[in-house]
Amino acid sequence: MGCESVNAFNPKLKAFFDILLDSVNDAVTVVDTDGTVLYWNKSAENMYGIPKAQIIGKRIGDFFQKGSIMLYQVMETGMPVYQVYHKPRPDIHVFINAIPVYDDEDRLIGAIAIEQDITHTVKLSEELYSYSQSGQHIHESMIFSQMECSSMQETVDFLTKASRLSYPVLLVGENGVGKEMIAKMIHQMGKYPGPFLSISCDTIPAGLLDMELFGYAGGMLGSDREERPGKLDLAHTGTIYLKNISALPLPIQAKLADAINQLQFFRVGGDKPIQLTCRVIASSTVAIEELVEKKLLLRELSYIFHVHTIPPLRERKEDLPELCHYYLAESAKAVGKPVPRLSSEVITALTTFHWPGNLLQLRNVMEHLMIKSSGNEITLNDLPSELRLTTLADLAQESLSLTILSEEMEKAKIIDALKRTGGNKASAARLLGISRGSLYYKIKQYKIH
């Protein structure tokens, strides 16, 4: 149902429509086919400081020329555009979705633009850049303490409490979410005097895992006196991290459960109890309930661990500025370069990418940027192609040679170009040296038929 239909025939539905649009956090603009503003919600008022009474009934181009070009373009082509980056004001950064609107008889009646304010993300990136320029280094502990995602705030609280206790911890999350980083932080925050030792349970042959973990004694290598400590020994007063614990054979899981419960263990082939003095942190990429159900993890061992799930990067986009600058600073240090600035377009692209490889992929991209960048600022051209985004400038780039002309000269020039190209707008736009979207805007502006 079109806006005119709502206004004319169903006042009750219009009331719901008004409340709905005024309650959303994104700025919403509705225009008719002439570009006249029909609706301007509260978020749009707050974002731009333009009250409804000032803009409704006026042409959108009188306030936002490039934004109006995009609206005319989607109405002309019938093709919506999504996630287009734009900087409508020096201090505002937004993502725009623009969609043409049709009535019940499939007639074009206008378009809607929905703008998501991402200014906070860009400003945070600038603050982090200024921090790095001051000569101060961003540490892992700072990243976690400043994270804004609610699920990661839970992780921070968990880290703080877990570091004070020696309870066994099981961290669950996708590959690359930072489980080992978090395990190291628990170790460091707990100020354990011993070392942090790691075992990748899925990379060591099952027959050797028992000795790797518990050590051995009593002639295992052909000598009655042969005795060597395992990682549980070597991590004395420190932390042992068991990566992918479900790869441990079930008999070894049973021995580990006994060791944690009794605070002692026996080396393979030995009969002398060894005191367990390290804390145990484990990880898994699969939920613990699924591991138990598939008999990959002993139920009694699952009861011993305090389980905490780490969300994937795509679910904590708020934390990306800190993470980007941390890995960028690390990469800059490795190659001996100063930390470059991330342009507003780049930080926007980075924070909207879905990151299937999580922190591992993010670190790789930051290293790529340090290798490719040759200046003080990283731009969209420096990004891998799959990370680049569309900007409104790409869709509505105007030619200076046309904008400096007077309105009458400009109108005459456009009419002449359309005549010379037989009304073909794409060809006329090329002849004028402007984008097709710019031409649509000018045609509407000057009411050229």
Q: Is 155 exposed, middle or buried (0-12, 13-18, 19+ CB in 10 A)?
A: buried
Cβ proximity of 27 and 34 under 8 Å:
no
Please indicate whether the domains covering 121-138+314-392 and 150-310 agree at the CATH topology level. Answer: no
- Per the CB < 8 A criterion, the answer to whether 392 and 65 are in contact is no
Distance CA 299, CA 319 (A): 34
- Residue 81 to residue 36: CA distance in whole angstroms: 20
What gap in Å lies between CA 101 and CA 399, rounded to an integer?
A: 29
Contact 110, 3 (CB under 8 A): yes
**Per-residue model confidence (pLDDT) at position 144:** 58
Cα gap 278→237, rounded to integer Å: 5
Architecture of domain 150-310: 3-Layer(aba) Sandwich (3.40)
Domain definitions of the chain by residue range: 12-117, 121-138+314-392, 150-310
Kind and range of the H or E element at 242?
A: strand 239-243
At a CB cut-off of 8 Å and minimum separation 6, what does 177 contact? 310, 311, 312, 313, 358, 359
Given a cut of 50, the residues of the chain with pLDDT beneath it are 1-9, 220-222, 398-406
Listed residue (36, 42, 32) closest to 111, CA to CA: 32
The answer to whether 265 and 276 have CB atoms below 8 angstroms apart is yes
Residues 88, 48 contacting (CB under 8 angstroms): yes
- The pLDDT score that the predictor gives to residue 61 is 85
| CA separation for the pair 178, 245 (Å, rounded) | 16
Tally of residues, the chain? 449
DSSP string, 275-342: E--SEEEEEESS-HHHHHHTTSS-HHHHHHSEEEEPPPGGG-GGGHHHHHHHHHHHHHHHHT-PPPEE
Q: Domain 12-117 belongs to what topology? A: Beta-Lactamase (3.30.450)
* Kind of pairing between the strands at 273-275 and 264-266: antiparallel
Measured CA to CA, the distance from residue 79 to residue 89 in angstroms comes to 26
pLDDT in tens, 378-412: 998 899 988 988 787 776 554 333 443 346 567 77
How far is it, in rounded angstroms, from Cα 139 to Cα 151? Answer: 20
For the stretch 255-289, pLDDT in tens is: 999 999 999 999 998 889 999 999 999 999 999 99
Output phi, psi for 198, to 5 deg.
-125, 140
Closest CA to 352 of 388, 383, 377: 388
Phi/psi at 190 (5° precision): -80, -5
With vertex at residue 283, the alpha carbon angle to CA 278 and CA 286, rounded to the nearest 5 degrees, is 155
Fold of 121-138+314-392: Helicase, Ruva Protein; domain 3 (1.10.8)
The pLDDT value recorded for residue 399 is 35
pTM of the model: 0.70
